[in-house]
Each structure stands twice: as structure tokens, then as C-alpha cells.
Amino acid sequence: MSTAIRPVVRVQTPPVISPGVVIPVRVAIAHPMISGHQNDEQGRRQARNILTRFECHGPQGLLFALDLQPGMAATPSVQFWLKPEGRMTLQLHWWGDHGFEHRHHHELVVS
């Protein structure tokens, strides 16, 4: 990650998942977004600073991906659905302007 501020990530999944059940996965990340349309105190255009890509990987590879645009919220919230077959770790990965990159892992428990 290239920024000094560590983003806050929230992942919401059921605490225990039954085999064969499709579950929602809700993911949010707090990021200091600047759309690039605002001016600073001196009237100069601020450089755009947004998240541009989100990916979720599992044991078999890419599970979900999303390209993000300037109209997204500063704390983008995404929901997608999975059918985990066993215990697995979701590898969440964000990219953004100015070399921003952040990874987060989330364990799913299937029993």
C-alpha cells in the first residue's frame, strides 16, 4: 500500500455457513476519495484520488471483480453472492489512483 493512511475495511458474512448455501458477502472500504472536480482553498483543481478496481479471489481464482468510477462513494460498498463449499479465505484487493493498493483477507467458516 502506498499511502500512509491505512484504510478501514468491513466485511460482512454469516458467522457460520451451512454447506451448499448461497451467502451474501458485503464489503466496504473507507478511502479518502477526491473526484477531481473540487478546488482547494487556493482555487486550484484537486488531483483525482479514487479507487479504480476491486477484486475478490478464492482458492480457485477470481470470484468477483468490479471497475470503480468517480461517481462511487468515498466508502464504496459492494455486495455479491457466493456458494462456499468448505472453509476458505477470501482475498480482497483494491487498486486506486497514485499507486494506491490494499489487500485484506477474510475467513469463511462452512460447517
Is residue 77 a contact partner of residue 99, using CB atoms and an 8 Å limit? Answer: no
What is the CB neighbour count within 10 angstroms for residue 53?
Answer: 13
Instruction: Say if residue 3's pLDDT is above 60.
Output: no
Instruction: Tell the burial category of 96 from Cβ atoms under 10 Å away from its Cβ (0-12, 13-18, 19+).
Output: buried
Where do the domains of the chain lie? 48-68+84-111
Is residue 99 a contact partner of residue 2, using CB atoms and an 8 Å limit? Answer: yes
| Phi, psi torsion values for 99, nearest 5 degrees | 80, 10
The stretch 18-29 carries a mean pLDDT of 94
**Predicted pLDDT of residue 4:** 54
Confidence category of residue 44, pLDDT binned at 50, 70, 90: confident
- 18 or 49: which carries more pLDDT confidence? 18
